Chains A and B, each alone.
Chain A
Amino acid sequence: MSAGTYIRRPNRALQVYAVIFLIVLYVPVLFIPLFSFNDAVHVRFPLKGFTLQWYTELWSRQALWNSLWNSVRVGLVVSVLSTVLGVMAARSITRYRMRGKGPLVGFIMMPLVIPGIIFGVALLVLLSRMGVPLSLYTVGLGHLIICMPFAVATLLPRFEGFDPAMEEASADLGENGWWTFWRVTFPMVMPGIVASLLLTFTISFDEFIMAFFLTGTDPTLPMYIWGQLRFPKEFPSVLAMASLILFISFVLVFIAQWVGRMGLDTEDLGVPDT
């Protein structure tokens, strides 16, 4: 009886739709790695032949490696900062009875829905008014605003499933706040922290709009790539670089998702059985 209900019956139309959806979503992206191995300057069919030339050419571009290093530095700092702030926010949102908690959460999540261009322009105006020179620090600041909601959204479920009695038990067994954090709280929310670090790093690493407004003389990698688009001859190696970034981003996001979900379904977070 249950196998025959529409809930469990395989739905052919839905399966076809899902396949089409994935094709439309990812095929355009797959053209980038495809043409990065193409032995021609111009991106057009038919493909000319297989080459690793564009990848080898990457090695000799000092400016590209500089911009990559800039992006990595900004990404590391932003991911650590936003995750630390995210831990504090998630902990206080779930633990304390606060007045105005709802608006506060909404406020933290706002950058998700406000276009980056608006934040970018606003920050640029503000910073230039204050006489702050544009640099990687200003880019980092912009990225921090964008990454905060992602960090909080990743960490909140971990803290929501956290039984306050766990920390009380630790205190009761003789540990002060610091040791309780390291021996109980941190290990229990660890998967969320790892997921948040990876996700925010990826977001910062790929981010273009904020960087466009806030970059000084040191470009981030997306800025560098954008700059190279004006030179057709440079384009294939940009494709090669983009392929590499695509691959690394994909791996990072995949790990973040996997680690973030790890144990959420099976592991007991200390919520009493009902």
Chain B
Amino acid sequence: MTTSDAFISIRSVSKFFGGFRAIDDVSLDIGQGEFFSLLGASGCGKTTLLRMLAGFESTSSGEIFIDGQPMSEVPPHRRPVNMVFQSYAIFPHLNVQDNIAYGLRKQKLPVARRLEMVEEMLDLIKLSGYGSRKANELSGGQRQRIALARALILRPKVLLLDEPLGALDKQLREQMQLELRALQRQVGITFVFVTHDQEEALTLSDRIAVMSGGRVLQVDTPAGLYEMPKTREVASFIGNMNFFRGTVRRNGSAMAAVETEGLGTIPIPVEQITKPDGAPVQVALRPEKFALSATRPDGTLAVEGRLRTAAYLGERSHFYVSIEGKAEPVAVSTPNISRGLDRADSQSGQALWLSWSPDAIVILDTD
């Protein structure tokens, strides 16, 4: 993504609430038609950033461009963006139809055309026939869809979504995730989506910005963030991660190595390591990248350990294995391809071999 084709461009934006720095020099580019997520724990500034895009918060410094236009002097009601609020903010004194048509007043359309547009929207959100319902007769999922329709009917250039699925129960949320993604493809509008749910962000997004303490830690595709996190913070925020202390060893050949605490010496192609010989690094490995076996497997990197605890989770099992040279046990997650009960029933203290492939390894800077 280069700046020139960025549809939304956030340039060195900061926001102070009194002395508190809610947004700390954030720069982001979001492309047209992209499903872009702002992911972070509560208080990381993701909602503030979204509200700045909507115009409900001013920028303390920096500038936001949408479709090339600077936004700092543009009030919320003139911005080419629409928002789906966390509480949905469905107007309780209006019925579904009037809620959806709310923003059409200025377009001065004939009544028939307006009704037609509302019907199209109701069709899109699969709520045809609900036009005359009152807001208090709707379920959470229905409100969410109406909030979506009310925003989309205005054909915004950007749709902002503030944790729109947070209030829904798990099953409905998963269903809405799929629908939201399909809808975004269908209408082709740029979505900026705020969430604290990493799974949701991974499922929905084209790209994700991980935020913490008002800063953007990393912007990447879901797979990029998960497989190649750039910092320990990102690595541990998204999914689980095992960390091992290590030291870089170079001997001038094509293969360098990282000497790790617990996993032994791991050969790494030279081009993957930027650090000089002797530099301390963190080696990170996801729990599911390990394989477990009772005997030493041939031809891969492996280390022996002892099982501490095991947990059966249905589709997969989690194991915590102590290895020599590392204080905390290593988390291992294996899919239960065959019926995995026997392994989950494994005796604590049992000897096991952990093996992994060297390309599953992530090398991070030390903190």
Contact = CB atoms under 8 A, between A and B. Distances in A.
A267 B103 CA distance: 23
B82 A172 contact: yes
Given A165-B85, A268-B135, A172 B77 contact: yes
Contacts of B89: 163, 165-166, 168-169, 270
A270 B87 contact: yes
Contact of B83 (A169, A187, A267): A169
Contact of A175 (B93, B105, B135): B105
B285 to A, nearest CB: 40
Contact of A168 (B56, B78, B105): B56
B69 interface: no
Interface in B131-161: 135-136, 140, 150-151, 154
Interface string A149-170: 0000000000000010110111
Interface string A239-271: 000000000000000000000000000111111
Contacts of A267: 92, 136
A175 B77 contact: yes
Interface in A92-128: none
Interface in A205-230: none
B92 A269 contact: yes
B140 A273 contact: yes
Interface residues of B, number: 30
Interface residues of A, number: 25
Contacts of B93: 187-188
B25 to A, nearest CB: 26
Contacts of B92: 188, 267-270
A174 B78 CA distance: 6
Interface in B195-209: none
Given A188-B92, A270-B89, A171 B136 contact: no
A265 to B, nearest CB: 11
A173 B87 contact: no
Nearest to B87: A272
Interface string B25-65: 00000000000000000000000000000111000000000
Contacts of B54: 168, 172
A176 interface: yes
A170 B102 contact: yes
Contacts of A188: 91-93
Contacts of B85: 165, 168-169
A267 B136 CA distance: 7
A268 B54 CA distance: 25
Given A166-B89, A272-B167, 7 more contacts: A171-B55, A171-B56, A171-B76, A172-B76, A173-B151, A176-B77, A272-B86
Interface of A: 163, 165-166, 168-176, 179, 183-184, 187-188, 266-273
21 contacts: A165-B85, A165-B89, A168-B76, A168-B83, A169-B83, A169-B150, A170-B91, A171-B56, A173-B77, A173-B103, A173-B154, A174-B106, A175-B103, A176-B75, A179-B105, A187-B93, A267-B136, A268-B92, A268-B135, A268-B136, A269-B92
